Structure 1
Amino acid sequence: MYVTRGGKPAAGARRLAGVRRDRRTPDRLDEERLVRLVGKGDRAAFEELYRRTAPWLAVRLRRRCADEQIVAEVMQETYLAVWRAADAFAGSAVGGTAVGWLWTIAARRLVDAFRRRAHHAEPPPAAAPRDTAPGAEDEALAARVDGDVGDALRRLAPELRQVLQATVLDGMTVRETSVLLGLPEGTVKTRARRARIAMRKALT
């Protein structure tokens, strides 16, 4: 996927003008460095970031929504937002990994898509029940928290972990989490409370 600085898809890959400051090729850089290069208009870095992250992001979105059209729209909106806002990425902040930042953008776009559909048509079809084993993207997100906290997060029951990730790691409100996960707000609150209790026990 290729876009121009104005946010519109480009006809194809173009050679990057000028010389990149980082002499390493994009495939040898970590995601945080790639995002910072994208913020400087580096199309090669953007293409590499997309290549690395799009597969797991699509899988994660499909676990939230079975409507392929919505998933495709959210993917497009997410990477356009990444291109436009990469220069504001604060990777030095707590939990500020590129993977987590990208998922936060995608999750909020998915919530917006659900809300738009709710006003005009039937709610999007729910995704099929997911395997209880954590997927690669869950491991990537859990890695945003290191050490004992990260270990405790990974040991949480999947239904508790996903609520804690949304409300704490992604900074979503109870209402946004409710829309994202397709749960009543009361259930979100209950699971968030249970998750915090479980985390406290695991860390004492």
Structure 2
Amino acid sequence: MIRYNKTVLVGMPGSGKTTLTNLLAKRLDKKIITGDQYYDYILQNPQLTISRLFCKESNLGKDQFIPCLGSEEFIKNYGEQLFRDFEACVNIDLLEKNRLGKSLLDLGGKVFINTDVRKKLKELNYTSVYLHVDKDSLLERLIVNDNWKKRSVYRIAEEEGFGWKTRFLKDFEERNVSYKMADIIYSINSSELAEKTLSNILKLIK
């Protein structure tokens, strides 16, 4: 069962990562730690060791690193590239803390494109599963109930006049290259129940 504990689902917003991770957690009776919650906590507490380490490695002076409510405020203060570096740093720290697979991890969707994160996953014997969904289906899912507004980068894209759909399509092309490096690629069938999808993925891992 430990192999299932060390499974990380990756994919675009709307691909079903969180839904399937929740189902797996129930099946294994495991706690979930989300990358988003973890780095939001750290952003709000820059005195923590990981924050000071990041400031040192990124040449961002500790006096410049101010508490942020979350990723959106950080991006607006420091830019998205620095946020992605911070995100990778924090997720690697999270993987180290969970190296025994005591909890299930729900990492940020874009963090998998970082080479160091992928190396850490391999080093710690995690199995990465890419939940592949075609872009038209993803767009439909994000449009429903304005789900795209839950993503800070898409809200910022709208505010800046770039457009969230344009940003999504750009992200899709960029991320797809890295996602295809996952250990397992599973094409999501929209008519398939989530429980069935999870069972199929676990069979592939086994």
Q: Normalising by the residue count of structure 1, what TM-score does the alignment of the two structures yield? A: 0.32
Q: Which has the higher strand share?
A: 2
Kindly indicate whether structure 1 or structure 2 has the higher relative contact order, using CA contacts under 8 Å at least 6 residues apart.
2
Name which one, 1 or 2, has greater alpha-carbon Rg.
Answer: 1
